Structure 1
Amino acid sequence: MSTAAGATGDNPAASKLGLTSGQIVQELGWDDDVDDALRLAVEDAVDGELVEEAVEAVDVVLLWWRDGDGDLVDGLVDSLTDLTDTGYIWLMTPKVGRAGYVDASDLSESAITAGLAQTVSATASAEWSATKLVRPRGTRR
């Protein structure tokens, strides 16, 4: 029998994301190049499916973003639409040297412009990096 903790144990990157059972995770920016093993590990960790169209506030947004997807600031602001006041965004970007790589300075500048603070970064998979973005404490209700 698999448990949520056991499932993330099989995928160290999913463990680094700090997800817990019962959280609602909205996935944005999905395309054929995303890491399906990581997606499944996230679903196992939260014991539910990723949602695309939220019908209620979500705890976490998993945003896949590549250079060329458009304006990152707009993407981040759109990610805030269904996010709870205490929720956060995991921004998934291709690693350095991969197609669609997003420069770290562009990521940082876009986060600040969108009113977000960058907290931690982690290796999500062989192809993807993860950056956690939150609302600054002073702007939470």
Structure 2
Amino acid sequence: MSATAGQAADGVRSLADRFGIEPGMVVMEMGYDDDVDQDLRDALTDRCGELVDEDTDEVVDAVLLWYRDGDGDLFEMLVETLSPLADNGVVWLLTPKAGRDGHVEPSEISESAPTAGLQQTSTVNAGKDWSGARLVLRRGAKGKK
């Protein structure tokens, strides 16, 4: 069996595969700053093309939300991701790993996501300094914003 386009020859899944990003998807990015993981951004843009910003009028398949402790209210930022998000879209909440500047306690995510109408389904290693929490709309949550 041959490796798919997103897999390395040794069978290791690429970052874009771990994030479920496919060619043609529209991916919005929020919270960009000079500390983001460029390897992750490059892998995702190689797969789907340019990332759109939060001013887009497009319906998006995925949102990358770079969030650090001190960036503002996490609940409000998560709610902002919902307007352009497709009903089957995914929010990737990217936070600094434990011990890094701006680390966000998991309890903050577990409290804010459900209140915003999202549920966490998994986490991934999103790079040397970042973790990613995969958040999806709770059933029926989009209409209740």
Normalization by structure 2: what TM-score? 0.87
Please state how far the C-alpha of 1:11 moved relative to its aligned partner: 7.5
- Pairwise CA RMSD: 1.9
Q: How does 1:1-141 map to 2 (within 5 A)?
A: 5-6=5-6, 9=8, 12-46=14-48, 48-52=49-53, 53-139=55-141
Unaligned stretches of 5+ in structure 2? none
Q: In structure 2, what is the Cα distance between the partners aligned to 1:19 and 1:86?
A: 13
Is the contact between residue 14 and residue 124 of structure 1 (CA under 8 Å) also seen in structure 2? no
SS at match of 2:47: helix
SS at match of 2:92: strand
Unaligned stretches of 5+ in structure 1? none
Higher helix proportion: 1
Please state how far the C-alpha of 1:112 moved relative to its aligned partner: 1.1
Letter in 1 for 2:5: A
Normalization by structure 1: what TM-score? 0.89
Q: Deviation string for 1:2-32 (max 9, x for gaps)?
A: xx934x6487333211111110000000001
Letter in 1 for 2:44: V
Is the contact between residue 65 and residue 93 of structure 1 (CA under 8 Å) also seen in structure 2? yes
How many pairs are equivalent?
136
Q: In structure 2, what is the Cα distance between the partners aligned to 1:99 and 1:49?
A: 28
SS at match of 1:131: strand
